[in-house]
Copies of this chain bind each other. A is one copy, B any other.
Amino acid sequence: MSTADSRQRSPQQLQPKPPDPVSAWLQIFAPIAQDLATVERRLQDSLQHSDPFIDELAQRCFRLGGKRLRPALLLMTAQAIGEVNDAHHTLAAVVEMIHTATLVHDDVLDEADIRRHEDTINARWNNQTSILLGDYLFTQAFYLASSLETTFGCRTIGRATNIVCEGELLQTAASGKFDLDRKQYFRIIEAKTASLCACCCTLGAHYAGADHETVKRLENFGLQLGLAFQIADDLLDLVGEEKTVGKSLGTDLTKQRMTLPLLVLRDQLATSEQQELQTLLDHPSSENSAALLNWLEESGALRQTRDLALAHADQAIRQLDFLPDTPAKHSLQQLPRVAVSRCV
């Protein structure tokens, strides 16, 4: 922390204005827009319920997932390899349901009130309803996956979702651990976020008839994309504005999670400064958050973290070199940088 003065400058003021996110996503998703509409209908059909209470909850969830990144990733991967088919539509609905289930449970864990500019399920109803609704979505997703001819979809989704839960458990265990190292951090974000992105690419490629090596390359694309995405999310949780992002932020500090920006800052500090940092982290308050944010900005930790996110985005993009030149490939190439641009 260089001067007391610097703490009063808002880090947001130092950043360039981000591109309009909605139009960027729309442009990227253009090659699979029709398929995404089919997936929306499949989601809608699958979540309809004769009981008005369950139906209301399911319809609410339907709007929670937002930009449908995971279905789009699955569909674009499929199109980049060959053709999108009916199995892809089903699986795209499945991964969105799984993702929504994790969001519903995350909002209980994080005690979050806002998601996609709306009250969360726990805020509108209660934690009990959120827990059960998350379970309902998980099981509905697995049931839908089992409508495919082979067990490959169930196996891939079962494994990836289990790894997501593993990552969330590891994150809970790591809460308050000031000495968390980068290897442990990356293990957590790879499990809780990147594994489901990788799974989308695996499914997209496999069900389009790709060979084993091609599936592996695209899986790695998804993995690197997921890492870039989560690092960007961790940055957003610190520097974003709830009004723009549309969900509760600042959760990582409240939950005392050592995310990458904090690790980068910590690792460049002398021991006495590390103690000062730990004191700030041990006593979450809006004043300490503001001080911390300026420290992160002034030290260059935010910029270095953004560079790490961009490095993973670039590593993702390089995995795509072998693909024939198509609109779907072009969209996949744009995806990692747009994902990171949310926090640049």
Q: Judging by beta carbons under 8 Å apart, are B173 and A53 in contact? A: yes
Which parts of A169-194 form the interface with B (CB within 8 Å)? 169-170, 172-173
- As for how many copies of this chain the complex holds, the number is 2
Minimum CB–CB distance for A301 against chain B, Å: 28
Segment with Cβ contacts to B, from A66-74, A124-132, A277-285: A124-132
A172 to B133, CA, bound (A): 11
Which residues of the partner chain B approach A102 to less than 8 Å between Cβ atoms?
135
Interface of A is mostly: helix
Tell which of B108, B146, B161 touches A131, judged by Cβ atoms closer than 8 Å: B108
Q: Is A138 located at the chain interface by the 8 A CB criterion?
A: yes
A335 to B157, CA, bound (A): 36
Tell which of B109, B136, B145 touches A165, judged by Cβ atoms closer than 8 Å: B136
Minimum CB–CB distance for A55 against chain B, Å: 11
Q: Is A44 located at the chain interface by the 8 A CB criterion?
A: no
Q: Is A105 located at the chain interface by the 8 A CB criterion?
A: yes
- Chain B, Cβ-Cβ closest to A130: B131
Q: Judging by beta carbons under 8 Å apart, are A154 and B165 in contact? A: no
Which parts of A115-143 form the interface with B (CB within 8 Å)? 127-129, 131-136, 138-140, 142-143
Q: Judging by beta carbons under 8 Å apart, are A131 and B132 in contact? A: no
Given contacts A53-B173, A154-B154, contact A135 B138 (CB under 8 A): yes
**20 other A-B residue contacts (CB within 8 Å) besides A54-B170, A105-B131, A109-B132:** A51-B173, A54-B169, A57-B169, A105-B132, A105-B135, A109-B131, A128-B172, A131-B134, A132-B168, A133-B169, A134-B135, A136-B169, A139-B158, A142-B142, A142-B158, A143-B159, A143-B161, A146-B151, A149-B151, A150-B151
B-binding residues in A (CB < 8 A): 49, 51, 53-54, 57, 101-102, 105, 108-109, 127-129, 131-136, 138-140, 142-151, 154-155, 157-159, 161-162, 164-166, 168-170, 172-173
